Amino acid sequence: MFVSTRATKRAGWRLLLASTNLVAMAHFLLSRLVSLGLSLAVASAVIFCAIEVIPGDPAAFMLGLNAEPEAVAALRHELGLEGGLLERYLAWIGGMLTGDFGVSYTYRVPVTELVVARLWVSLPLTLYAMMISTAIAIPVGLWAAARRGRAGDVAVMGVTQLGIAVPNFWFAMLLVLAFAIGLGWFSAGGFPGWEAGLFAGIKALTLPALALALPQASILARVMRSSVLETLGQDYIRTARAKGLSERQTVLRHAFRNALIPVMTILGLQFSFLLAGAIIIENVFFLPGLGRLIFQGITQRDLIVVESVTMLLVLSVIVVTFAVDLAYALVDPRLRRRA
Amino acid sequence: MKWPLSLCVGFLLFAFFAMAALLSFVWTPHDHAAMAIDARMQGPGPNHWLGTDHFGRDILSMVMVGARTSIAVAVIAVGIGILAGVPLGLLAAANRGGLVDEIVMRGNDLVFAFPSLVIAILITAVFGPSAVNAIIAIGIFNIPVFARVARGAALPLWTLDYVLAARVAGKGKLRISFEHVLTNIANILIVQGTIQFSLGVLAEAALSYVGLGAQPPTPSWGRMLADSQTMIALAPHMAIFPGLAIVFTVLGLNLVGDGLRDLLDPKLRRAR
């Protein structure tokens, strides 16, 4: 009898805890989703208005100085440039929601087609750079923290301080000078396409990814180092040491995992830096990615391309930030309750 | 008070380039815009210390004048951020939870969702490439940074006794914000200003590298790098010197920022 009441009581408690947890999680998710939607709405409005401000009519620009007014009017109609601001904005948003980004003014093909082709360069490049940056930064930061104040730590701090100051496009040029022109290991630019094989594709993206990754790895390594140092000052680390764990076990088993939380936030932020950096780096290596597409769009007055690619970049950053927030809440229950 | 080592080293590095920029107003080794096709792409030598570019222009002179562009763009962009951002942040802190606070915080979220470089590219694309538009593009992103930092630093001060005393004495929120709160968060703002300054130099270099910054004939470090790119196998010095100028200026500013933080925030120093 006694045993059973205790069991029911325990089960009841567990149920209550689980339900409050669920409610908190649902509340957190909902509030995040609302702010996600709001951000997207405002961002799209800002981008649309910015592009609308650009002086000059794309149709008149495309047809040149001697165009007949009727021809310009016909082209305006074809490009969907007629109608009020709000009408066109809604058409643009509605199209994007169904995957229709409109038709490029200069290429005369659907923007979606252009974007998807370029995405196969920009996205692998960004992810490749992120992998390199994480693979370098986390062990290096951990290593430096474990050697706090000693020669190794000082060296890491010095090198990363320098790494933060190096513009990635200049670093890219130095890599080309050393590994493409000097040693001849890589080509200095261009992309053979994934049809040429996985290896050829990865090889072509290696120098650009390195150029993108190393400055970011410097920041990440410093965050990792200070985060490990902070966890090393916690009570549970003292407990771990007191119960006789070796320094190595203490750091790897206890400090490492807790130190990863702030590193995760920075990783999420880095995605947007890397994506933006990729736009510049693609220009150094003549890679046919989203960055080249934006610049071509700007010079050719292909506003619909500029508009859509910018929106796509902003969308991916907002979604990644959302995902990081979510992952954060899953790892650290305290954050859920605070929200 | 003893100056931290990083502050001294950083200050010397930055001062070197700031002096070069100032000096370029009255003297450069050669005319930075003078072309000499017969002397093009020469390596460093006694006549041209850092060599010449593909038009035979003196690289040292161009780097010196480029320092002017870089520093001016970054300083004004930081100025925009401080002048617009700090009052917003102070106001938000003074009326915590109010309308201004809400706008500042939501605006912050929004700006951080935009990859700053993408928007800077968009802005310069909309208004045309020029140094002024580069300043505006970089400056706009400094506003929420300073608003957030000022708000965060000011919030805890509003619970302190001396602010309470000022309220009892009948001072309004605006007056307290500027007379008491601002003076007490100035340290933090100076450190943040140094960081934004170095980011501004990097951003200016990136924008002018892609052709959206200062336009020819005004030399800028980023465009010197862009020009050197196709010639890198023939004349690597064209790429190396402007790049080093960017790295050392940014490194100097970052070290100054670190040093100032140590100097101005004793709590942090003890924790190290």
Of B73, B67, B206, nearest to B131 by C-alpha is B73
Q: Are B157 and B163 in contact (CB under 8 A)?
A: yes
pLDDT digits (tens, 9 = 90+) for A62-95: 677 677 777 777 777 776 677 777 888 888 888 8
Mean pLDDT to the nearest integer, A143-167 = 89
Asked if this assembly's ipTM is beyond 0.85, the reply is: yes
Chain-chain contact of B243 with A295 (C-beta, under 8 angstroms) = no
CB atoms within 10 A of CB A178: 13
Please report the pLDDT score of residue A339 as a whole number: 42
Both structure tokens of A140: 């290096």
Chain-chain contact of B113 with A39 (C-beta, under 8 angstroms) = yes
The more confident residue out of A339 and B70 is B70
Q: Is the pLDDT of residue B270 over 80?
A: no
pLDDT category at B268 given cuts 50, 70, 90 is low
Question: Which amino acid, one-letter code, is at B59?
Answer: I
CA angle B72, B77, B79 (to 5 degrees): 95
Chain-chain contact of A167 with B116 (C-beta, under 8 angstroms) = no
B interface test, pick of A31, A38, A170, A179 with most B CB neighbours within 10 Å: A170
Chain-chain contact of A170 with B239 (C-beta, under 8 angstroms) = yes
Q: Is the pLDDT of residue A1 over 50?
A: no
Give the closest of B112, B206, B248 to A167, CB-based: B206
This prediction has a pTM of 0.83
Q: Highest mean pLDDT range out of B26-30, B170-174, B189-193?
A: B189-193
Give the closest of A50, A164, A280 to B210, CB-based: A280
A319-334 as b/e, with b when 16 or more CB fall inside 10 Å? ebbbebbeebbeeeee
Q: Is the pLDDT of residue B207 over 60?
A: yes
Lowest-pLDDT range, A10-19, A151-160, B169-178? A10-19
Is the N-terminal amide bond of B236 cis, ω within 30° of 0?
A: no
Q: pLDDT over 70 for what percent of chain B?
A: 96
The radius of gyration computed from the CA coordinates of chain B, to the nearest angstrom, equals 22
For residue B161, CA distances in Å to A336, B59, B166, B180 come to 33, 58, 9, 11
Chain-chain contact of B255 with A164 (C-beta, under 8 angstroms) = no
Give the closest of B118, B239, B255 to A310, CB-based: B118
Question: Which amino acid, one-letter code, is at B258?
Answer: D
Identify all chain A residues contacting B251, using CB atoms and an 8 Å cutoff. 161-162, 165
Chain-chain contact of B232 with A167 (C-beta, under 8 angstroms) = no
Q: Is the pLDDT of residue A300 over 50?
A: yes
For residue A311, CA distances in Å to A47, A114, A125, A291 come to 7, 15, 19, 13
In three-state secondary structure terms, B55 is coil
Of A114, A131, A117, nearest to A274 by C-alpha is A131
pLDDT digits (tens, 9 = 90+) for B84-136: 999 999 999 888 888 888 888 877 777 776 777 777 777 777 777 888 888 88
CB atoms within 10 A of CB B6: 20
Identify all chain B residues contacting A317, using CB atoms and an 8 Å cutoff. 113-115
Q: Is the pLDDT of residue A52 over 80?
A: no
Q: State chain B's mean pLDDT as an integer.
A: 85
- Is A149 exposed, middle or buried, given 0-12, 13-18 or 19+ CB atoms closer than 10 A? exposed
Identify all chain B residues contacting A313, using CB atoms and an 8 Å cutoff. 115, 118
Please report the pLDDT score of residue B212 as a whole number: 83
pLDDT category at A140 given cuts 50, 70, 90 is very high
pLDDT digits (tens, 9 = 90+) for A103-120: 787 777 888 888 888 888
Chain-chain contact of B126 with A51 (C-beta, under 8 angstroms) = yes
Q: Is the pLDDT of residue A292 over 90?
A: no
State how far the Cα of B155 lies from the Cα of B148, in Å rounded to an integer: 11
Mean pLDDT to the nearest integer, B67-87 = 93
Complete DSSP assignment for A11-64: HHHHHHHHHHHHHHHHHHHHHHHHHHHHHHHHHHHHHHHHHHHS-S-HHHHHH-
DSSP annotation of A133 reads H
